[in-house]
Amino acid sequence: MISPSAYPWAEGETLGQHLDERGIPRRDFLEYCGKMAVILGIGSAAAPRVAKALESVKRPSVVWLQLQECTGCVESVLRTENPSIGDLLLDVISLDYNHTLMAGAGKAVEKAKTDAMAANKGKYLLVVSGSIPTKENDIYTMIGGKTARMQLEEAAEGCAAIIALGACAHWGGVQGARPNPTGAVGVRDIIKNKPILVVAGCPPIGDTVTATVVHFLTFGALPEMDREGRPLFAYGERIHDQCQRRAHFDAGQFVETFDDKGAREGWCLYQVGCKGPATFSPCPIFKWNTRTSWPIEAGHPCIGCTEPYFWDTMTPFYGRLPDVAGFGIEKRVDTIGASLAIGAAAGVAAHATMTVLHQMKRRKATRQVPEATEDEGANNG
Amino acid sequence: MNVTSDRSARHPPGAGFLEHFGKPVPRERGDFTWVYLWGAPLRIMHWIAAVCIAALVISGLYIGRPYFATAGEASSHFMMGKFRFVHFTAAAVIVMTGIVRVYWLFAGNAFERLPALFPVTPRNLLNMWRVVRTYFNLHTEEQPHFIGHNPLAQSAYTGVYLMMVVMVVTGFTLYGQSNPTGIIYHSLSWVPALFGGLQIVRLVHHALTWAFVIFVVIHVYLAVRADYVERAGVISSILTGGRFVSSSDHFEDLDLSTGHPHPWPKE
């Protein structure tokens, strides 16, 4: 992926010129712009605008920090569709620093990073994947002799905008799940004074990242975001409302176990814990690994990885509702609720019996009152 | 011991059906008057809400855990869709009843207004305890009589109102997810944050369903029981709006000589 040496993007050269030099047909470029315009939700009619903006872009600088993370996000972004241009945009042409992908190592690459940041001060795009550990004076992640927090603050200082990539940079990720031993937090908890866009997911879909970069290059700003900071063009709809198995949900056809008839028929995975109804993500549309498939298509329920704190809030992954604490492992809310309701009904039955017996006794006792009083008129004293 | 307020004594057990079958029913004693208690809006909303709660519980339990499935092509069924339609429609209707009830908190009579919802005077706490004892058939001679709700009943009803608020807020939060550009989604976007995630909202909404089931079981039972034990006509009062009282009755919350209601006596 990082193979810029053959065709280095010269200083001052525009993307259009650079693509020409690399022998990328203009037809491919326009096709790519059209796809990006559609993904961004501005319509394919806007493709010429995207193309015009993109081809006049001078070499943008992207610095990609990887903090406390598993590199899964990098793996995912490598699998963008149409790598000839997507890779170019994101990696070859613009990526000045990414410690997993770059060939260099040690002080030289740290210097390359600080040089790129100094040369593009106020203009470069900062991509961050991984969380920032905050416990024990931030010691849990050290890169180039600096803590993750120092790395982030240093790189954020002169950037134009930040893309927080993946669940870790979003809210802390799996290491930020309870009990969060390292005190992992997301980028937005550390950096307050920069525009931050969250490409949520564990990992996110690569196309979302390239589309966001295209938007940034075309319009000079981050796309419209939701409350979480996620771009609306990708995270504006629930999985449940875009799902190819939705018809089975509405029809009342559900997979009960992973080997039943419903599972073979491709029915809705609601009953086996699908979190699609609580998850905003473009998975059903963008799909994964160059549009090969996505979890629900493959027969696995959504685990809600684009939602904050999903390790805590979306578990159990194969149950519809969170476990109720303190009532044993398998006791779900229905078991408890139904038991209480049956208990109430039984209590009512017992109480009714008791009341009837009591009343019968009482009335029998009152009946001993001489019948004479019956006709003595109002005797209410 | 206040015998006069004990209706069972006034309607002596001789008035049982079998003893008097074919004989004239004994003449009632005391001069009875009909006291109008519950305004028409309250009663109508009560029954609309009752139907809605039944529909919401039945459809809600299906939505929460589909208890039967359809077979064949998905295109020829709409089972979940129908249950959801019933659920959302009933939800909208019950919100309407809530709006009317809130209006009636300010427009209703002394037993229906906002202050009546909170039986928090010391005397009422004592009365609440006495009602609890009565339900265990202990110290029934000390049972306080109320023309409106007794403090225990009122506390339960106020609790149900609060549960309804939680149900409506959580329910509409879940409903709003399908249209993230809509007004419901945006006006309730604080709810998932408050509960700690949409799944917790879902759990609370689901769990409270059972609280309604339990409430209905106990509520219906105690209403029937009150009619059976006290012969006070409370079931009739939610249909007709009123109850018969005798001039010899003694109520904690109504001065019969002046007709002055005082839902929660302070003394």
Per the structure block, which two tokens stand in for A280?
């905003």
Assess whether A262 and A134 both reside in one domain. no
Q: Show the domain range for A285.
A: 246-313
| B207:A251 CB<8 A | no
Please give the full DSSP string across chain B, using - where no structure is assigned.
--GGG-HHHHS-GGG-HHHHTTSPPPPPPS-EEEEE-S-HHHHHHHHHHHHHHHHHHHHHHHHHS--S---S-GGG--HHHHHHHHHHHHHHHHHHHHHHHHHHHHHS-TTTSGGGG---SHHHHHHHHHHHHHHTTSSGGG----SS--HHHHHHHHHHHHHHHHHHHHHHHHHHTT-TTSHHHHHTTHHHHHHTSHHHHHHHHHHHHHHHHHHHHHHHHHHHHHHHHH---HHHHHHHSEEEEETT---SSEETTTTEE-SS---
| A320:B65 CB<8 A | yes
Per the structure block, which two tokens stand in for B258?
């002046």
Percent above pLDDT 70 for chain B: 87
**Of the given ranges (A313-317, B40-44, B219-223), which has the lowest mean pLDDT?**
A313-317
Shortest distance between the Cα of B29 and any Cα of chain A, in A, equals 5
| A333:B14 CB<8 A | no
The contacts of residue B190 (CB under 8 Å, 6+ apart) are: none
Is B103 within 8 Å of B143 (Cβ atoms)? Answer: no
Assess whether A279 and A349 both reside in one domain. no
Last residue of a domain, one of A186, A214, A235: A235
* pLDDT (average), residues B32-52: 91
pLDDT at A131: 93
Within a 10 A sphere around the Cβ of A105, how many other Cβ atoms? 9
Residue B51 has pLDDT above 90, yes or no: yes
What pLDDT tens digit does each residue of chain A (381 aa) get? 344 445 666 667 777 887 787 777 888 888 888 888 888 877 778 888 888 888 777 777 788 889 999 988 888 877 765 554 555 565 555 677 777 777 778 888 888 888 888 888 888 888 899 999 999 988 999 888 889 999 999 999 888 889 999 999 999 999 999 899 999 999 999 999 888 999 999 988 888 887 888 888 788 788 888 888 899 988 988 999 999 999 999 999 999 999 999 899 999 999 899 999 999 999 998 888 778 899 999 999 999 999 999 998 888 888 888 877 655 455 677 788 888 889 999 998 888 888 888 888 877 776 655 444 444 433 333
Is B40 within 8 Å of A245 (Cβ atoms)? Answer: no
Is A354 within 8 Å of A346 (Cβ atoms)? Answer: no
**Residue A54 in domain:** no
Which carries the bigger pLDDT value, residue A233 or residue B9? A233
pLDDT in tens, B82-118: 999 999 999 999 999 999 999 999 988 888 888 888 8
Read off φ and ψ for residue B12, nearest 5 degrees.
-55, 155
Of B77, B140, B211, the CB nearest to A252: B77
* pLDDT (average), residues B201-214: 93
pLDDT at B30: 59
Is A24 within 8 Å of A58 (Cβ atoms)? Answer: no
Assess whether A292 and A338 both reside in one domain. no
Assess whether A149 and A64 both reside in one domain. yes
The Cα-based distances of A332 to A73, A255, A314, B65 in angstroms read 34, 19, 15, 11
Q: How far out from the chain centre does Cα A297 lie?
A: 18
> What is the count of structural domains for chain A?
3
**Residue A140 in domain:** yes
Assess whether A72 and A219 both reside in one domain. yes
Looking at the complex, does the CB of residue B115 fall below 8 Å from at least one CB of chain A? Answer: no
Assess whether A166 and A130 both reside in one domain. yes
Assess whether A231 and A252 both reside in one domain. no
Q: Which CATH superfamily is domain B34-68+77-261 in?
A: Transmembrane di-heme cytochromes, Chain C (1.20.950.20)
Q: Report chain A residues whose CB lies below 8 A from the CB of B177.
A: 238, 240, 277-278
**Residue A321 in domain:** no
Looking at the complex, does the CB of residue B138 fall below 8 Å from at least one CB of chain A? Answer: no
Tell me if ipTM is over 0.90: no
Looking at the complex, does the CB of residue A351 fall below 8 Å from at least one CB of chain B? Answer: yes
State which residue of chain B sits closest to A267, comparing Cα positions.
B74
**Residue A325 in domain:** no
Assess whether A143 and A192 both reside in one domain. yes
Assess whether A87 and A190 both reside in one domain. yes
* pLDDT (average), residues B72-77: 86
Residue B48 has pLDDT above 80, yes or no: yes
Assess whether A173 and A226 both reside in one domain. yes
* pLDDT (average), residues B15-40: 65
How much is the mean pLDDT over chain B?
84
Which DSSP helix (H) or strand (E) runs through A43?
Answer: none
Which carries the bigger pLDDT value, residue B40 or residue B123? B40
Assess whether A198 and A148 both reside in one domain. yes
Assess whether A80 and A212 both reside in one domain. yes
Is A36 within 8 Å of A50 (Cβ atoms)? Answer: yes
pLDDT band at B1 (very low <50, low <70, confident <90, very high): very low
Looking at the complex, does the CB of residue B132 fall below 8 Å from at least one CB of chain A? Answer: no
- CATH code of the domain containing A260: 4.10.480.10
Shortest distance between the Cα of A256 and any Cα of chain B, in A, equals 10
Which carries the bigger pLDDT value, residue B194 or residue A79? B194
